Amino acid sequence: MLKGQKGITLVALVITIIVLLILAGITISLTVGQRGLLNRAQDAGRNYQNAAKKEEEDLTTLDQTTEDIIRNIEAER
């Protein structure tokens, strides 16, 4: 660089752009790739819904069992 001139060189600018493109590619890949964040979030949502359904079924079964026990105790009196 000449004295008194300030700035960046074309090589530094090109290297910076290449690094940014690489980082952008990695970020896009991690976000929308086959096992990316979006797919994993959808899987987690489905797992949550399935777990909620199973829990509801388990609670229904538990309620029925509790009612049966109460009826049997009352019948024995």
Note the pLDDT of residue 2.
59
Q: Where does the pLDDT of residue 53 fall: very low under 50, low under 70, confident under 90, or very high at 90 and above?
A: very high
Note the pLDDT of residue 34.
85
Q: Where does the pLDDT of residue 57 fall: very low under 50, low under 70, confident under 90, or very high at 90 and above?
A: very high
CB neighbour burial string for 5-41, b if at least 16 within 10 angstroms, e if fewer: eeeeeeeeeeeeeeeeeeeeeeeeeeeeeeeeeeeee
Backbone dihedral region of 7: left (phi > 0), alpha (psi from -120 to 50 degrees) or beta? left
| Alpha carbons 26 and 19: distance in angstroms, whole number | 11
For the cut 60, the answer to whether the pLDDT of residue 1 exceeds it is no
Residue positions counted in the chain: 77
pLDDT digits (tens, 9 = 90+) for 24-38: 999 999 999 888 899
